[in-house]
Amino acid sequence: GRATATVVEVISHNVGVVLWGLAVMGEGLDGSLVGLIDLLAARVLEVREKLTPKDKLQLHQWLLSCELDLVSGASLPSSAARVKQELGEECLQAFSSQGTRESQFQRDVALALRTAVSEVEIEEEYRDARSGYSIDVLVRRRSAAGSTEWAVEVDGPSHFLYDSRTPSGSTLLKRRQLGELGYTAVAVPYWEWNDLEGKGEEELRRYLQAKLRIDQVSQAPPSSP
């Protein structure tokens, strides 16, 4: 009735954030939401000329979520496939071109990692080509059997809900998608780092090695993303 039509109208005018919300929740590829996905995808194509930069960022993360959540051998729903075909590259470019700003917190963690972990390569602000994500600190260990890659995210207060230690939707989505891309996602939250202040290099080393589970990983066959 009229109430349903009103809800649909509101959703269709906020299509980017709705699809992004589905990605955060890991929803959207099961049968129960196919009708909603078709409606939203059609709306995206209708208003493509009016999409804002933020819309494109959100659509990219939703399309990436659709791809990463697929069961092996499956294909994207036709509606999502059409959005990807017509807008996917544009949205990826918008996502990849976002500027990054390295904080002192991030520089401190990267420096400590170089000291704490041996026989690894460390790269700050590494850009993953497939997803467009900028990884705060990439730690890579190579071996004859392959390589292991840790995506270390240095999480300041803006990565959490206001006045809490609960990760924001953006933070949760990035962590999950980095894991699905094959990285070992590692979070270094600001309060844990602050607690280490003044405790010395040995304490920092133990903390970071525990975060990377370095002893366990070094004994197990490495995996590649």
Structure tokens at 209: 């090695």
For residue 162, count other CB atoms closer than 10 A to its CB. 8
Which strands sit side by side in the sheet containing 146-155, from one edge to the other?
A: 121-127, 134-143, 146-155, 184-189
Cα–Cα distance, 90 to 1 (Å, whole number): 37
Cα–Cα distance, 115 to 201 (Å, whole number): 9
Structure tokens at 95: 């996502």
CB distance 215 to 209 below 8 Å: yes
Between helix 15-25 and helix 169-180 the angle, nearest 10°, is: 60
Q: What is the pLDDT of residue 72?
A: 55
Q: What is the pLDDT of residue 27?
A: 72
For residue 106, count other CB atoms closer than 10 A to its CB. 21
Cα 183 from chain centroid (whole Å): 11
Backbone angles phi, psi at 157, to 5 degrees: -60, -30
pTM beyond cutoff 0.95 = no
Q: What is the pLDDT of residue 221?
A: 42
Chunked mean pLDDT (size 10), the chain, 225 residues: 53 81 78 75 90 94 88 69 94 94 93 90 95 97 87 96 95 96 96 93 93 61 47
Helix (H) or strand (E) holding 192: helix 190-195
Q: Which long-range contacts (CB under 8 A, 24 or more apart) does 85-89 make?
A: 86/45, 86/48, 87/44, 87/45, 87/48, 87/51, 87/56, 87/59, 88/60, 88/63
Q: What is the pLDDT of residue 220?
A: 41
Q: What is the pLDDT of residue 163?
A: 92
Q: What is the pLDDT of residue 11?
A: 60
Structure tokens at 49: 């000329």
Cα–Cα distance, 176 to 142 (Å, whole number): 23
Q: What is the pLDDT of residue 33?
A: 74
Pairing of strands 134-143, 146-155: antiparallel
